[in-house]
Structure formats: C-alpha cells, structure tokens
Amino acid sequence: MKSSYMKILIIIMFLSGILQYSIFDLSWEYFRTVQAMHIMGSIAIALFLLIPYVNMHTYEFMVVKKVKSLSGIMLGITLFFIIISGIYLFLVGNRGGDIFGTLSFYVHLYGSFVLLYFLFSHARKKFHAKPLVVLFFALSLTFVDSSYANEKLTNIKIEEGLDGYHNEDWTSSAKCKSCHEEIFNQWADSNHHHLVGTNPYYMVMENLAGADMGEEFRQWCMGCHNPSAVTTGEKRTTHEMDGSLMPNILFESGSKRLLEDFKAHGNSRLEQGVSCVACHRITEADSKGNSAYTLKIRDREKYAFEDSNSEVEQWLSEKFINSNPQVHKDSYSNKLYKKSSYCASCHDEFLPDSSKRAVVSTFKEWEKSPFNNPKDPTKHKDCIDCHMTYLKDGEFAPLKGRSTDGGVIKDDVKVHYFSGSNHFLSGLKSKEHEDQTLQLLRTSAKIDIDIVDGNILVGVKNVGAGHHLPTGVSDFRELWLDITVTDAKEEVVFSSGKLQEDGNLGLDARPFMKVFGDEDSKPVGLMFWRYKKMISDTRIPAGQRRVESYEIADAKNLEYPLKAVVKLNFRIYPQWVTDAVKRAYPQLPNPDVVTLEKVEKSFGK
C-alpha cells in the first residue's frame, strides 16, 4: 500500500477522534456514531493495514537499506503508545478512579497531535524541535478537558491510607435502635433513609443517568443518596431483594426489612440510603456541595465487642457503652452538625463538568436570605431550626424529651423526620411523617388578592422558607395558583391553574419553578444533567413577594359582586414525571395536590 494512502487513513482516524472532543459539542446521536466509527475503524485499520505496513516499512529502510531517520523513529514510538493507550481505553476504559485510564486518555489525545507532526516531518525528511515545543505549549493551553469523565463525580473523602471501606465498617442503623428507639423510629420512615432502593423516583433517575451518560455517572447521584455503596466500591444502586423477588416496600413502615436483615446478617449486608453513621461520622463538610464531606468511620474509639455480630457480645457492648457513654457521645457528635454548611455538602448540587452549572442551590439561597443573620440570634435560623424542629398545630414547638433511652431530658430534641417538601413518599409509610412535612410546608407562604379594573392581582409572599420557594429539585416541583372567580349569578368568569384530564397542569397555569433547557433552549425533561441554559426561574426568594396579574375577559360587562377563591397548590412531582416512574413501578400511587394556603374574598363594583 502506498504511504500516501496510509497518511490519509491516519488523518481520518485523527479527525474522527478529535470530533469526539467536548469543544465540538456534538449531539448525542452524532457523537455515538462518530465514537463507534472511530473505535471500530481504528482497530481494523491498525490490525490489518497500519501495523503490517509499519513493520514492512521499518524492515525495508532500517534493516535492509540501513537508513537512519530520527523522525521515523519518533513516529514509530508515538504510534506504539497511541495504539497501546487506545487498546487500554477500549478494554478497560477511563472511569475516573484509575490512573492508567486517565494517563491513557491524555496519551491518546495529545499523542495524536504529536503523531501528525512526526508524520509530516518524516514525509518531508526534516525534523525541527521548535514546532514540537510550540505544539505542546498550544495543547496545554487549548485542550482543557471539560467532559464528565474527567471531573470528580463525588467529593467524599475518607481516612488517609484507605481506598475504601468494607461492608462491616458501616455499622447498621438497626443497631442504634436499642438505645435511641424514638429517634430511630423517626428516621426509619424518613426520606433520608428512603433515598435509593425504596424510592422509585430515584431509582428511575439513576438508571436513566447511567444509560444516558455511562454507568460511571451513577456515582454523581450516589455520593449523597447512597454513600455506603460508593465508599465500598459499588458502581450502582441495587433494589432490595426478597430471595429472587423485589419486595413491595413502598408502604412498609418502621424499617422492618432493615431490622430483619441485621438480625439475620449483621453488618455484612450493606445498608442503603443515608444511615445514622453516614451523618454522624462526618467530620468535615464543604458548602460547595456534590457530596463534599469527609467520613471517618474507622478512625474512632470503640468499646469492647462493639463490632461483634454475636447477640451476647452485642449485649455486653451496649452495657459497656451505657456504663460510661462519654466516648460514644463524642464519637457521634460534632458542633458542625448544627451549621447550615453541613447540610450544604449535599443540598447544593452542580453539574460535574467544567461549567459547574448549579442544579440545586438551597444553601446559597439561604446565605442571601434574611434567615442568615448571626448578628441577631432572634432572626437567625439554621437548617435544623426548621427541618429538625417538631411542629404542632402549624407552629414550631420544640419537643421536650430524650434522644437516648434513659438519657437526660432536653428542652429541644432535634427530631429526625427530616421534614422538607416530600410529604408523599414518607407519607406512604407514616402519616405522622406526612403531617410534620405538611405543617412545615404550610408555614412557608401567604397569599393575598385584589381585583382592580377587571385585573386580578394575586400576591404570593415567601414568609417562612429560608430559601427560594420551592427549592431543591425545583425543576420537578409544582407550586402554582389555582384561581376561580364567579359573578353575582355564580357563573365562572375566570379560571386558571386547573389540572387537565391526564392529570398534568393546564397550560394557563403559572408554576413557580425552574425550567432547564439544552443548548437550543428546549426543556431537557427528566435528564436535568444535560442542561445548558436556564429557560426560566420563577421561584420566590426568601422574604420576597411576587404579584401575578390576570385579565378577566369582557370585564366591562361583569355582574357584581364578584367572588374570588385562590389556592396556593403544591404537588411534589408533576404527573408526567410520575407517569414515567410508574412504567417501572406500576404500584406507585399518584401524589396528591396539596393546598398550602387558601383565600376567599368578595369584591363590589
């Protein structure tokens, strides 16, 4: 084969590889086609054409003709490393946690430019070092990789010298129940516990993320939702199983399965979700988010038999702890836990690429809110002051009691319902949990209404939330105004914010939420990790009031008095999201629409 044909093939391989680079921002359909063509084409060209040609060429000129060519030697060496790095990337991959994978990626990328240089240098039979130096310098400035594969998907740190934990290192939360029964029972049905295998929405989203972005991308989700799995080397979240069957545990309360598993298997069966240890052995937390916390599970003082699976030895261990519990208390307590920055390590979230675009900014919203006022303790509120304080009759009512069985009585036991916005999933297991969350939600906003010259003016004020309303995954939260105005004949003259027959919100509704878009400003739907642009953000910051204006048609002919009924409604997931999840979990009921505030008012002419 002529050398000119070989050069053309090498250039084609080069171009198909470079097109995959993130700066070209190929759509997924084009990318996966180019990637497949590059990999399969390169393998075929290298095995059947390139390697035989190079061997023949080298033998002819270096062995037979005794020609010495520095550019030829460098070309051969570079080609060797590109082939070896390509084989490694194909067979093993570059998954982020393997130094050889990362090294292979950069050798393959930068080496392809060096190969091109030596190819033309060899063809011209001239070798100049200066252009090569310039090439390396240009590459170091230009090609800064922004792909997900080379960004940290999780920021969890553990003890120095450890690559990961063993299942046995993760003390089961079931073990905590013997001394902290009330706290355990609160946590058992909370959304902190049911973050993964027992949360249908999460399981669908993690599986979708893995299918869309590659299996390694799951780690981004798991860093906060499933820390025990991440730190023990698990690559995906798995369903809880009952033999070969997946049990229906959506409605199971009291963590019955967890208790049974611990009794049968001890710590050998890994607990999922955010466990007692996952929170109470965090020693440092960074408010940047994306699981930016430090765990120290092994590095603590343990009592005799504390890690034993023997019932007798466990009983003895509890007696040893209770007889002198100070070391145990110190092991699981930290002043950090009262700070909002502690919660931010997971409740702020950004895309794991060079853009670092914010997905969830609950902590940053709180930082700018009137609730962040440490100079005035009467106005300052940290996360736990709302989300871990007991509510009664719609008011915060610090719970007087014990956090430890037989322990001291406290004036304000920090409850572990972890009330937030998701009343629905915890409510499937416990009506008490649902009630605590609904009470909290109803402290968040107040509405008012006026009708002036045929215009309906509805004010919505965020009075109770220390962050935007709503916050969290607010691209999947629905908060909207449901308005009905009737005239003197009780005929409806204006209506907005009703549900359609398919359960989705009507097009006339104005939800307070975020909408993520792709590079073409089209909504990304379920795949929020693909978002490039914020299409809209109509949420209400803490302490602020928003006025929505609506025009009544044919206002001049209205028959007074008018009666307006306005509801501020909330739904934890839109119907289209629940419909997608129900394809995998048909037993999942639809979340209710909850009215947070309702105002009725009559207006004369």
State the residue for tokens 């520095």: 70
First to last CA, the chain: 93
At 3 the pLDDT is 67
Question: Range with the lowest mean pLDDT among 12-26, 168-182, 346-360, 483-497?
Answer: 12-26
At 272 the pLDDT is 84
The answer on pLDDT for 54 being more than 90 is: no
Alpha helices in 266-308 (DSSP H): 276-280
Identify which has the larger pLDDT, 7 or 601: 601
d(CA 176, CA 183): 9
The answer on pLDDT for 24 being more than 90 is: no
At 335 the pLDDT is 95
At 27 the pLDDT is 67
Specify the pTM. 0.76
How far is Cα of residue 396 from the mean position of the Cα atoms in its chain? 30
At 142 the pLDDT is 43
At 576 the pLDDT is 97
Cis-peptide into 561, omega within 30 deg: yes
Q: What is the pLDDT of residues 453-464, one digit of tens each?
A: 999 999 999 999
Q: What is the pLDDT of residues 334-370, one digit of tens each?
A: 999 999 999 999 999 999 998 899 999 999 999 999 9
Domains (ranges, CATH) in the chain? 3-149 (no CATH), 167-382+415-421 (no CATH), 444-603 (2.60.40.10)
The answer on pLDDT for 592 being more than 50 is: yes
The answer on pLDDT for 410 being more than 80 is: yes
Q: What is the pLDDT of residues 244-259, one digit of tens each?
A: 445 577 888 898 889 9
At 132 the pLDDT is 46
Q: What angle do CA 156, 151, 229 make, to 5 degrees?
A: 35
Mean pLDDT of the chain: 87
**Tally: H helices and E strands in the chain:** 20, 17
